[in-house]
Structure 1
């Protein structure tokens, strides 16, 4: 049985770990993975058809705890304890819920102090006590309804026994029904860089030049108080590995692309030369971005922007990349690209493919099948890849965009036209160790 401390409007945890309101989904999963054998029977609940309208939930049925994440920002907004008998809870170092201490109304009032009069919900037959960032819900017998209607100070217990908490909610703010996920807390930064927004830089002829990233991380002041530090960086096609590392810091992981599925179409001379070198991925998981460097020139030739939708093969590997750019149909190339026309569309991480395909022409898609490292089948099924100009859209079966790949249309230095065409046909799938 877990023995946890609550901090209203902040966290639920113990000495070694804690679930903090505002933390990212992947950080909560990392905590659970670190407690293998202690936290068991984990369930992840989400909507396949409406991933932006339904909360993402991590359910811990054997511990009576439920973590509720906002589906858009994917940060923790509510912590629920739905079965008080499966967990020990304390506040200020003193237990108010355990096998020896029942969480009755008197016990809650004793542990947390005075509050406003409780609220009775006749439809659900629940009586609620609300503190700032914390709410307790009590099941109400119909014979006690009259006494409850007058608030906490005049409760009447005909049976002589006080009702016991059936559910507890921990959240940010003063109203549990209007709770929102707070910004990522400083305690969850862990010396990493995070993405606020990404703008795709497009040239006047409608092709990509690179990315303009608004970033934030943990800074410090002379008073030794940690603060959020914001800054902007541009990464462009043709930047070297050193350029990108200097702008974005060290990647979370470096992956050497050893498999080239298009190599069978190359001449024997090219295959032999390519076998001696490998393209390199810089994986920035907290930015939701991958940067691919050419093996020959060591310069950037491709960006992969991830949307981190549940139900995708790479879900929980990346934070969502909040990208944005305007896309113009090829039919409007004679117009001034700097001005929107009736056929312009703004592409974001939340756009659907049917909205985009209504503006841009699309050929028959390439079906992308992924498999795990153990060659087991992908339980989420295939995705579909559509190409337009220098962009590849990876689309899920629910019509949401799983990733966007931007590739350079300028051949690397000293690269032959034949090898350049082979580069454009390369497998677009992203592999990570």
Structure 2
């Protein structure tokens, strides 16, 4: 039997273990270790989106809905619902004061006593906090004006989110403003073909890190990024058949991967020189085979400036369609593609569109490889 779900309310900052601004990858990773508390998590998104910018909602039955922004996949808004549902019982606290519990009904007058006066309206809105007196799906024509005068009106839903400078809640489609939950994360990754990648971090004052192909060492990565979450030796050599390079000797030290899942980046490191050979940037598209294995990396591919005085070189970003990025990399026709069906190696993996999903396509260019979905979304970028 599930125990009591006891959560503290922090206006504009979070609820319980959930921090506004936390990444989708981080939250789902935490939930994997909390299955005894949250046994069922539904991931909802727009499967028709072709840009990868669809907002994502995590529904934690029966009490919580977590809305993540479409671009950076950051926790934007927390909705608490079904406050009186006893499976499991929910206790909400604010500064050590119980707001709502199984036997403590939260009413309009209780909100006013706890949080003080606020602007007149059907709902009670405070900076970073919003109390609604409607159940999900309730329509407009319910005589709200009369209900708003009822001091004993029961709170049905509570929303927690960031606010704008004027104290008003941010639009649901806005991105989350930089906050403490983001500190240490990669804000964006600027990739340059044949060179490497520059990583920019939160907070913005932190200096960027330049990782260069054939120059940056494994030790440099550990110093700059910390130890990887996983290190494994490269065992899959099926692509070697397409390589024009001479096969290595049998006693050559194998290359190995540093997997930085929390940054959405992999590094392939030479077993001989211990220098970075390849860099893989992951887009974390919902519904794709690698969804949620890596955090979204907000990558950009930078082109060559038009002249020496051009300080804004052209760039293509992760949400641009494959056709646009392909033309950017090579104005000619796209190169021949190869089929990559990741479900072949995962016996238990099924996709939302697996019945008609023929697999992803891999396109190779000079110094860069794109993995592309059936919907023309670039799932990952590999620099070599």
Contact 1:21 1:181 (C-alpha < 8 Å) held by counterparts: no
8 Å CA contact 1:23, 1:185 repeated in 2: no
Report what 2:101 is aligned to. 98
Structure 2 counterparts to residues 376-395 of structure 1, below 5 A? 376-379=348-351, 381=357, 382-395=359-372
| d(CA) in 1 for partners of 2:5, 2:96 | 15
Confirm or deny that 1:210 pairs with 2:179.
Answer: no
**Residue of structure 1 in register with 2:128 after alignment:** 133
* Equivalent in the alignment of 2:342: 370
Q: Distance in 1 between matches of 2:6 and 2:68?
A: 23
Residues 145 and 286 of structure 1: CA distance in aligned 2, closer, same or farther (over 3 Å): closer
Q: Which residue of 1 aligns with 2:261?
A: 285
Task: Give me the whole-angstrom Cα distance separating, in 2, the residues matched to 1:188 and 1:327.
Answer: 28
Q: What CA deviation, in whole Å up to 9, does each residue of 1:376-424 have, x standing for no partner? A: 34426421111121111111122111111111xxxxxxxxxxxxxxxxx
Asked if 1:404 is matched to 2:381, the reply is yes
2:322 is matched with which residue?
A: 353
Q: What TM-score does the superposition give when structure 1 sets the normalisation length? A: 0.73
How many Å apart are 1:256 and its aligned residue? 1.0
From the superposition, tell whether residues 163 and 320 of structure 1 become closer, same or farther in structure 2 (CA, over 3 Å).
Answer: same
Alpha carbons 2:107, 2:152 under 8 Å: kept:
yes
Distance 2:144 2:219 in 1: 70
Q: Which segment drifts farther, 138-147 or 78-87? A: 138-147
Deviations 1:106-152 (A, max 9, x none): 222222222221x2xxxxxxx3111111111114997854535xxx6
Tell me by how many angstroms 1:298 deviates: 2.5
For the residue of structure 2 that corresponds to 1:212, the secondary structure is strand
Distance apart, 1:33 and its partner CA:
1.5
1:64-213 equivalences in 2 (<5 Å): 64-86=63-85, 87-117=90-120, 119=121, 127-139=122-134, 145-148=144-147, 155=149, 157=150, 162-173=152-163, 174-176=167-169, 178=171, 180-183=174-177, 185-186=179-180, 189=183, 193-201=184-192, 207-213=193-199
Structure 2: gaps spanning 5 or more residues: none
Give the CA deviation at 1:292: 0.9
Higher Rg of the two aligned structures: 1
Tell me if structure 1 keeps the 8 A contact 2:189–2:200: yes
- Give the whole-Å Cα distance in 2 for the aligned partners of 1:317 and 1:163: 44
Asked if structure 1 preserves the Cα contact closer than 8 Å seen for 2:178 and 2:202, the reply is: no
Distance, in Å, in 1 between the alignment partners of 2:159 and 2:76 is: 10
Structure 1 residues 353, 61: CA separation in 2 closer, same or farther (over 3 Å shift)?
same
**Is the alpha carbon distance of 1:405 and 1:109 closer, same or farther for their aligned partners in structure 2, counting shifts above 3 Å?**
same
Separation in structure 2 between the aligned mates of residue 110 and residue 67 of structure 1, nearest angstrom: 27
Aligned partner of residue 43 in structure 1, secondary structure:
strand
Greater RCO, CA 8 A, separation 6+: 2
Query: Are the equivalent residues in 2 in contact too, given 1:76–1:181 (CA < 8 A)?
Result: no
State whether residues 3 and 89 of structure 1, in contact with CA within 8 Å, keep that contact through their aligned partners in structure 2.
yes
Task: Give the 3-state SS of the residue equivalent to 1:317 in structure 2.
Answer: coil
Task: Tell me how far apart the structure 2 counterparts of residues 26 and 77 of structure 1 sit (CA, whole Å).
Answer: 14
> How many residue pairs end up in the alignment?
355
Please give the per-residue CA displacement for 1:69-117, whole angstroms capped at 9, x wherever unaligned.
Answer: 1010111110001222232212222222122111221222222222221
* TM-score between both structures, scaled by the size of structure 2: 0.81
Check 1:176–1:338 CA distance in 2 against 1; reply closer, same or farther (3 A cut).
same
Give the C-alpha shift of residue 20 in structure 1. 0.9
Query: How far apart are 1:320 and its partner, in Å?
Result: 2.4
Distance 1:385 1:257 in 2: 19
